[in-house]
Amino acid sequence: MRRVHRELARSQVGPPVIIDCHGHYTTTPSAHLEFREAQLARLADPGLPEPSPAEIGDAQIRESIETNQLRLLRERGADVTLFSPRAAGMEHHVRDEATARAWATACNDLIHRVVGLFPEHFVGVCQLPQAPGVPIERSVEELERCVEDLGFVGCNLNPDPSGGHWTSPPLTDESWFPLYEKMVDLGVPAMIHTSASVNPSFHGTGAHYLNADTTIFMQLVEGDLFGRFPDLRLVIPHGGGAVPYHWGRYRGLAERLGRPPLHDHVMSNVFFDTCVYHQAGIDLLFDVVEVENILFGSEMVGAVRGIDPETGFHFDDTKRYVDALGLSPQDAHRIFEANARRVYPRLDAVLSGRGR
């Protein structure tokens, strides 16, 4: 596959826009979580009435955002966040398709309301109504609704709806193709993001998330997904899991398996974010992975919210780490803006429509 590093023309005009590609609504009003609890209670006792999504006022949403994500966005010097429902809260391991659909709809509608209240700072990315054993084509309708009706620019795709037991086929399997076909048709990428772990061997954010990031990269090395879908774009979060640290291993495995070099076979279509929470990790990421394949992200107010006692700054203030790299203005532009606009073309259209 020929490698193309093309930046959208719009991204080189006007003032810079610092785009955080990885944000979740982790601070939802409590009524939203109560709706989820009512859903789960009804699954345990079908005699209970079917719950309705919570009635949440604009003021509640504003308070939950202004005192958290928006405050930190401004303090840390970013402009726009790609915003999706809380990853752990997707809870795809719950084995009921109707419940998964109702939950995804409610979560995505809430994201849409955040975007409507803060259109200059948040752009929507959707949760899919996945559940173990449910064909992925059943998620296509919600993807279409979110993109075409709500103006979302991407989706989060869970490669393991079982919650840590890995009962689904690899992402290179044909069973996933109906979703990929629709993603390509709509021009949206997916961030590959697991949800909660129900396997006691795998801590959710400390093991399961990173296991998945690493596992999916190897699946892509073994398969030939982008030979079939050359326009498909996937973002592997959390700095690509263990991949950058073991880059030589994956290069060697690709050669051993008779696959083309990684930059041709995988990296024209795969991108990592900067959700790595220490300077040495960011340094390694940039030493190993090309600038064209890295998007700025923080996942702030997420898994690691505290202050690093060694630095005195928040672990998830990843812009500080990227700034410390001393990138050239051209490379900084790619990391903070151009790459995101290239990987998420509907985001570029949204920003361009606003003169940004």
Instruction: Quick: pLDDT tens for 129-146.
Output: 999 999 999 999 999 999
**pLDDT of 275 strictly over 70:** yes
Q: How far apart are CA 343 and CA 292, in angstroms?
A: 10
- Reply yes or no on whether the pLDDT at 4 is more than 50: no
Beta strand residue intervals within the chain, DSSP E: 19-25, 80-85, 122-124, 126-127, 155-157, 190-192, 234-236, 270-273, 294-295
Kindly give the interhelix angle for 30-44 and 97-117, rounded to the nearest 10 degrees: 170
Which CATH number does the domain housing residue 23 bear?
A: 3.20.20.140
Cα–chain center distance at 324: 24
Domain assignment present for residue 287? The answer is yes
pLDDT tens-digit profile of 49-96? 999 999 999 999 999 999 999 999 999 999 999 999 999 999 999 999
Residue 7 in this model has a pLDDT that exceeds 70: no
Q: Is residue 11 over pLDDT 50?
A: no
Task: Report how far residue 77's alpha carbon sits from residue 306's, in angstroms, rounded to the nearest whole number.
Answer: 19
Give the confidence band of 175 by pLDDT, cuts at 50, 70, 90: very high
Domain extent for 103: 17-353
142 is a catalytic site residue: no
What band does 38 get if pLDDT is binned at 50, 70 and 90? Answer: very high
Residue 139 belongs to a domain: yes
Q: Residue type for 230, please? A: P
| Phi, psi at 250, each rounded to 5° | -70, -35
Q: For 260-267, what is the mean pLDDT?
A: 97
Average pLDDT, the chain: 95
**Residue 46 to residue 41: CA distance in whole angstroms:** 8
Q: Is pLDDT at 13 greater than 70 in this prediction?
A: no
Q: Specify if 57 maps to a domain.
A: yes
- Going 125 to 51 to 28 to 93, the CA torsion angle's sign is negative
Mean pLDDT, residues 146-160 taken together: 98
Name the percent of the chain lying above pLDDT 70. 96
Q: Is residue 55 situated within a structural domain?
A: yes
Provide the domain count of the chain.
1
User: Is 4 a domain residue?
Assistant: no
How much is the pLDDT for 87? 96
Q: For 198-204, what is the mean pLDDT?
A: 96
- The whole-number average pLDDT for the span 263-272 is 97
State the Cα–Cα distance between residues 253 and 95, nearest whole angstrom: 36
Average pLDDT over residues 150-155: 98
pLDDT of the residue at 302: 87
Q: Could you tell me if residue 303 is inside a domain?
A: yes
Neighbours of 103 (CB within 10 A): 25
User: What was the pLDDT predicted at 303?
Assistant: 86
Cα 166 to Cα 30, 101, 104, 133, 356, distances in angstroms:
31, 21, 21, 11, 42
**CA 122 to CA 111: how far, in whole Å?**
9
| In the predicted structure, residue 6 carries a pLDDT above the cut 80 | no
The predicted model gives 296-316 an average pLDDT of 95
Catalytic pick from 34, 299, 310, 337? 299
Cα-based torsion angle of the residue sequence 239, 244, 246, 251 in order, rounded to the nearest 10 degrees: 130
pLDDT category at 246 given cuts 50, 70, 90 is very high
- Segment 164-174 shows an average pLDDT of 97
For residue 11, being part of any structural domain is answered with no
124 vs 114: CA distance, rounded Å: 9
CA–CA gap between residue 157 and residue 151 (Å, rounded): 18
Note whether residue 175 is domain-resident.
yes
Q: State residue 80's pLDDT score.
A: 98
